[in-house]
Chains A and B, each alone.
Chain A
Amino acid sequence: MTRFAMVIDLKKCISCYACMIACKQEHFIPPGLFWNRLLISETGEYPRVTRWTYPVLCNHCKEAACVDVCPTGASRRRPDGIVMIDADKCTGCEYCVIACPYQQRTFYGDDKGEYFPGQGLTEYEIIGKKLYPFQSGTVTKCNFCAERIDAGTKKGLKPGIDRAATPACVITCPPKARHFGDLDDPESNVARLVRARKGRPLRPESGTDPSVFYID
């Protein structure tokens, strides 16, 4: 079986927000919505302060709480482990938004939003609405760039190795802090990193078995 997973090296992340922007660009994500985010926090007091940076995205959990609570079956987990939302089936009840312990789902309610309010849609937004139409009144989230993976796999490319079959945030990351691959393949880069550097998911006590791991 295949289980796509991501490993994020916190030592390499430089908080440049390139992943957030690449994601927005790749999916023509409307204003106010984010599939990728950066959480930045501080602990301690001057002069002993620690700054924590956590890039977060949908964890594509093996035991996804969002999939279980979805009353319509719009949220589903593909055989390769990617958790998807079928916008045509979503009713926008937002139970999945509530259920996600990582809060990585967002309700898209306003399809009138413009990046430059009052100035009309940019060419980029017009193209985006054609290529990647978001349905208002539904829930959205990161899909691990499933369309890139699917198109690349059809061409015989390997996700995580070949750029064209790898999520946009991974190939964009300037310090190469993000790694992508098949967790079930013991020889894949992600499986080796998780093993060798004790990769840990966020909040494992949630019992959702996430597919995004952090190493430091």
Chain B
Amino acid sequence: MKPYEWMVTYTPQTVWIERKGVLIWLSLYAGVLGGGTYLASLYFGSLHGMILGWLVILLIKSGLHLAHAKRPGRLWRMVLRPQTSWISRGLILTGLFIVFGALQIAASMRAPGSGAELFFMIAAGICAFGVIVYSGFTMSSVGGIPFWNSALLPTLFLLWAVLTGVVVVTAMGGARVETAALDILVLLVASMFLIVTYLSVAAYGEPVMKESAKAVMKGRMAPVFFIGVVLVGTVIPLVTSFCGYRAGMLPVSLSFVLVFCTIVGGLSLTYAALKAGLYSPLSPGGR
């Protein structure tokens, strides 16, 4: 974008996707991946999955946030405004998840079936849910970018998180393939439906939303969307899980292909959504 086009034409947001902003993209997705893996592990009762989900949030998500921080010494201040700021809420939820998750894992190892384990499971589960949806709400609460300003975004993040979680737990052997394959199929179809709805709403919305939808479907984000989200993230997992469902089994290699595909799909989806965020021109001459 040329300097004289800034806010005179549709202006893309770059803060959270270019240069150091790439870390924000990755950390938002790490929240989706870790939270989804933890929730799916709770559902299937897979302790290894819970540990993996917890580690993703502790090491990858928190690490990326720390790496992005320009003033790490002041990070503690970021939890001071939960009444209005989604970043504050998210950091509190992430911190609580790390604490409750650690206590739950410890309780599951030392005293399985105890009341303490159940309590920490519920508490950590609620926080994991919060970590997932806050990623979506952080974006959807930005009124200046109408493409993001949709309640469908947190729902889409949640759905994709659970999908990835189920796939990861299945690959780790924490879930029965016969039931998990059907879950994956249902979640994939629901995700596809939500993505189509999200883009349709944008395509028929105000001009700046149309422009964002156009960027995703026909413009600069089209390769990322059609290769990353549609082909790798949806079609390949759909075919693979359908074959697994029909056969009643899923070879280990294919289950890892599924993990790879859903992670690439989720990363592409988040990337496309962040990159397609546009601001409306300020001057009436804008187009």
Chain A interface (Cβ < 8 Å from any Cβ of B): 39-43, 50-52, 54, 56, 65, 67-74, 89-95, 97-103, 107, 109, 136-138, 202-203, 206-208
B4 adjacent to A90 (CB under 8 Å): no
Residues of B within 8 A of A39 (CB): 6-8, 282-283
The count of residues in chain B whose C-beta lies closer than 8 Å to any C-beta of chain A is: 40
Residues of B within 8 A of A69 (CB): 84-87, 141-142
Of A54, A71, A74, which one neighbours B91 at CB under 8 angstroms?
A: A71
Q: Which of B73-81, B177-185, B259-267 contacts A (4 or more CB under 8 A)?
A: B73-81
CA of A56 to CA of B287 in the docked complex: distance in angstroms?
Answer: 18
Chain B interface (Cβ < 8 Å from any Cβ of A): 4, 6-8, 11, 13, 15-16, 21, 69-71, 74-75, 77-81, 84-88, 91, 138, 141-145, 279-287
Of A52, A109, A207, which one neighbours B284 at CB under 8 angstroms?
A: A52
Number of A-B contacts (CB under 8 A): 121
Indicate the member of A42, A73, A91, A93 with the most B CB atoms within 10 Å: A93
CA of A83 to CA of B71 in the docked complex: distance in angstroms?
Answer: 22
Residues of B within 8 A of A97 (CB): 15
Residues of B within 8 A of A70 (CB): 81, 85
Q: From known contacts A69-B86, A98-B13, A207-B143, infer whether A92 and B71 are also in contact, taking CB-CB under 8 Å.
A: yes
CA of A94 to CA of B138 in the docked complex: distance in angstroms?
Answer: 12
The main secondary structure of chain B at its interface with chain A is loop
Indicate the member of A51, A91, A137, A206 with the most B CB atoms within 10 Å: A91
CA of A92 to CA of B87 in the docked complex: distance in angstroms?
Answer: 12
B143 adjacent to A65 (CB under 8 Å): yes
B78 adjacent to A72 (CB under 8 Å): yes
